[in-house]
């Protein structure tokens, strides 16, 4: 029996499917180190760490994804990858720029969330202070 030439790979985010397609080769980094998968490899489960995921598509082109923590499950010729955050780049240089922009955006969102939380806390403290005042 001839081994298959490609795996069906799905890369999922909490809100959407980022990638679905055939891949001849996959390179990822898990908690215990980097590894590669080919279509004929044994079934595999790995806890992924923030890193670059590289897929070699059916035509031999490389696809690059900057990923956050996640889980990879290979069963038969299907690979399911679920991560919290991920971005796609056409090259390592493009991916680097995309990741840097995404991190700046996350930093700004976190700053806005901290500001909103601080305002909320200040309002709660002020209201508690008003509750302790005796009424005339």
Closest C-alpha among 72, 86, 94 to residue 23:
72
Buried b (16+ CB within 10 A) or exposed e, 105-126: eeeeeeeeeeeeeeeeeeeeee
**Would you say 78 and 7 are in contact if contact means Cβ atoms under 8 Å apart?**
yes
| 25 three-state secondary structure | strand
Q: Would you state the pLDDT for residue 71?
A: 97
Kind of pairing between the strands at 86-89 and 62-67: antiparallel
Give the mean pLDDT of 74-78: 93
Give the Cα separation of 106 and 114 in Å (integer): 12
- Total domain count, the chain: 2
Q: Would you state the pLDDT for residue 9?
A: 96
Does residue 13 sit in the same domain as residue 72?
yes
Give the Cα separation of 26 and 19 in Å (integer): 13
Does residue 64 sit in the same domain as residue 130?
no
Give the Cα separation of 103 and 106 in Å (integer): 5
The domain in which residue 128 lies consists of 93-136
Residue 18 confidence (pLDDT) above 90: yes
pTM for the model: 0.71
Does residue 12 sit in the same domain as residue 71?
yes
């Amino acid at each position: 029996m001839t081994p298959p030439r490609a795996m069906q790979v799905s890369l999922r985010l909490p809100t959407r499917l980022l990638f679905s397609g055939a891949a001849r080769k996959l390179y990822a980094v898990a908690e215990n180190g980097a590894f590669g998968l080919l279509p004929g490899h044994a079934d595999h489960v790995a806890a992924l760490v923030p890193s670059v995921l590289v897929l070699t598509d059916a035509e031999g082109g490389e696809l690059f994804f900057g990923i956050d923590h996640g889980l990879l499950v290979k069963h038969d010729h299907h690979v399911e990858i679920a991560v919290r955050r991920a971005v796609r780049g056409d090259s390592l240089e493009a991916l680097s720029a995309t990741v840097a922009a995404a991190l700046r955006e996350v930093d700004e969102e976190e700053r806005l969330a901290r500001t909103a939380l601080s305002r909320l806390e200040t309002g709660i403290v002020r209201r508690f202070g008003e509750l302790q005042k005796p009424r005339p």
